[in-house]
Amino acid sequence: MAAALLVVHVLIGNRYGYHRDELQFLEDARHLDWGYVPFPPLTSWLGRASIAVFGLFGVRPEAGPLGLRLPAMLITSLMLLIAGWIARALGGGRFAQVFAALLMLPIELAMGQWLMYTVTDGLAWALVALCIAKLLQTRDARWWIGVGAALGIGILSKYSISFLLASLLIGLVVLPAERVWLRSKWFWAGAAVALLIAAPNLLWEWRHSWVTLHMLQHIHARDVRIGRANGYWTDQLKYMALALPFAVAGVVWLARSARFRLLLFLYAGPLVLFALAKGRGYYAIPGYIGVYAAGAVAFAQWTGRLRSRLQSTWRGVAVASTALGLVAVTLMMVAVAPQGSRLLHFQLRTSSDVRDQFGWREMAAAVAAARDTLPPEERARAGVAVDNYGEAGAIALYGPGYGLPYPISSANDFYYRGYGSAPDILVTLGIGRKDRQRLFDRCEMRGQFVKPNSVGNDDEEGQPIYVCWGMRTPWDVLWRTEQSFG
């Protein structure tokens, strides 16, 4: 199953295009550091490694996103194996192990399409769950080293793993049978391992005034304000879909198990804490793997007590329902639709992640066409200024093919890369009218970017492209106040 998932991801890896967020990860991968404004460094490190590997075969990022996505493909395939291993640690036989992997398959099919921090974050949560399951199975305290390593990886992936850590500590305090671990030297050794792995990134944050925390506060306030945090609980029903009965069975099974009850805290704790913090629905997805594995074990145990024919019937129905969920995910958001097809039109209407994979090369071409309306002497010294990280990443990737300079943007880590040679003529995209009037003496519309397939995403369709002259504020003064987050 894992091998088949990997093959599918390879086959569809170049069908659409880079996701908006991948453009940011890609550009950060070209500027390696111990941290970045919107996220920790692990995802971009993996992207850099993938680019290097594919570069040995002459495959460049401009050719398509497949070369960047290899780490995500491998990780999501590995996640199916981890689900099976957790089920085995919980006492599940072959059917339970395979069914646990099958329950995770729709999530991993969707997640593995893009290299994002949700992939590495999911791996860290899964490794924590696996190590805790092995700890509870064997009562071997040395598994705390694995837990610590997984938490360290999680800190390098996405800081929301702090909700998992808090839930784990609550479980250790609340459950009398598990408090003994707090006195174990291996528990504290695991904590030291986690800190050792995370230390370079934490040092980077300290040196950058904890900029990621400021960014997360800004993004969270925006999400709450515009309603992105609404529907948290209905999102859980949507993400689980036909697998919901098995998740419920997993929750009940873990709650009744004196031996493995701590594993329930890795799901229920973050689920509640994210809700209290008004997090977005998908934040809780990494916690599913433990309850899915337990649900597979519970279902296998229940059907194992039935007569042969009933057992086969119930297991067949369960596998079929999960397969239906897989088909639904495929039709809604997996890159299988031909260009111009009704299926693609449906995906574009229903999935923002699909919409965010179109139009980036065309955007760079439109900016270049606007730049080319300038006379040669002005064209040579014109810069390109864009609003958000997706636009900046697209210009950084595709712009050199059109002779465009490196983009100027105040968004996220592009802010730290500065404003180049401080150009006095700028081709602008996504800069609003008020900002143009505030920043420049004169601006003229010289082009328009219209997205292919009549697709709309965070950028409006039919974006005007302006050329502006006469900076009213010196660049060094302006840049001190222009940092933005997104």
Task: Inform me whether the pLDDT recorded for 427 exceeds 90.
Answer: yes
Q: Tell me phi and psi for residue 117, to 5 degrees.
A: -70, -15
What mean pLDDT comes out for the span 449-462? 66
- Calculate Rg over the CA atoms of the chain: 24
Contact 145, 189 (CB under 8 A): yes
Percent of the chain at pLDDT exceeding 70 = 98
Between residues 363 and 458, the one the model is more confident about: 363
The mean predicted confidence, pLDDT, of the chain is 94
Q: Measure Cα distances from 2 to 47, 109, 229, 265, 465 in Å.
A: 21, 10, 33, 27, 46
pLDDT of residue 454: 61
Domain limits, the chain: 2-333, 360-478
**Local confidence band at 56 (pLDDT 50, 70, 90 cut-offs):** confident
Task: Inform me whether the pLDDT recorded for 205 exceeds 80.
Answer: yes
**Local confidence band at 457 (pLDDT 50, 70, 90 cut-offs):** low
Q: Minimal CA–CA distance to 408: which of 398, 421, 400, 397?
A: 421
Q: Which residues contact 329 (CB under 8 A, 6 or more apart)?
A: 106, 109, 110
Task: Inform me whether the pLDDT recorded for 390 exceeds 70.
Answer: yes
Tens digits of per-residue pLDDT, 62-77? 888 999 999 999 999 9
**Local confidence band at 152 (pLDDT 50, 70, 90 cut-offs):** very high
Q: Tell me phi and psi for residue 301, to 5 degrees.
A: -65, -40
What mean pLDDT comes out for the span 401-423? 94
What mean pLDDT comes out for the span 328-347? 94
What mean pLDDT comes out for the span 230-250? 94
Contact 385, 428 (CB under 8 A): yes
Lowest-confidence region among 110-114, 164-168, 175-179, 431-435: 431-435
Query: DSSP per residue over 24-41, as a string?
Result: HHHHHHTS--S--SSS-S
Task: Inform me whether the pLDDT recorded for 431 exceeds 80.
Answer: yes
Query: DSSP per residue over 405-474, as a string?
Result: PPPB--BGGGTTT--TT--SEEEEES--HHHHHHHEEEEEEEEEE--GGG--SSSPTTEEEEEEEEESS-
Task: Inform me whether the pLDDT recorded for 230 exceeds 60.
Answer: yes
Contact 116, 72 (CB under 8 A): yes
Lowest-confidence region among 105-119, 161-175, 212-226, 246-260: 212-226
What mean pLDDT comes out for the span 353-360? 94
CA-based angle 316:321:325, to the nearest 5? 145
Task: Inform me whether the pLDDT recorded for 456 exceeds 60.
Answer: no
Contact 155, 40 (CB under 8 A): yes
Helix-helix angle 66-89:20-29, to 10 degrees: 100
Q: Minimal CA–CA distance to 35: which of 165, 212, 163, 216?
A: 212
**Local confidence band at 455 (pLDDT 50, 70, 90 cut-offs):** low
pLDDT of residue 229: 84
Lowest-confidence region among 159-168, 215-224, 256-265: 215-224
CA–CA distance, 418 with 420 (Å, rounded to integer): 6
Between residues 471 and 291, the one the model is more confident about: 291
Q: Which residues contact 350 (CB under 8 A, 6 or more apart)?
A: 332, 333
Q: Tell me phi and psi for residue 447, to 5 degrees.
A: 175, 180
Query: DSSP per residue over 232-276, as a string?
Result: HHHHHHHHHGGGHHHHHHHHHHHHH-TTTTHHHHHHHHHHHHHHH
CA–CA distance, 340 with 288 (Å, rounded to integer): 35
Global pTM reads: 0.94
H/E run at residue 392: helix 389-398
Contact 161, 120 (CB under 8 A): no
Contact 40, 157 (CB under 8 A): yes
Q: Minimal CA–CA distance to 166: which of 266, 260, 258?
A: 266
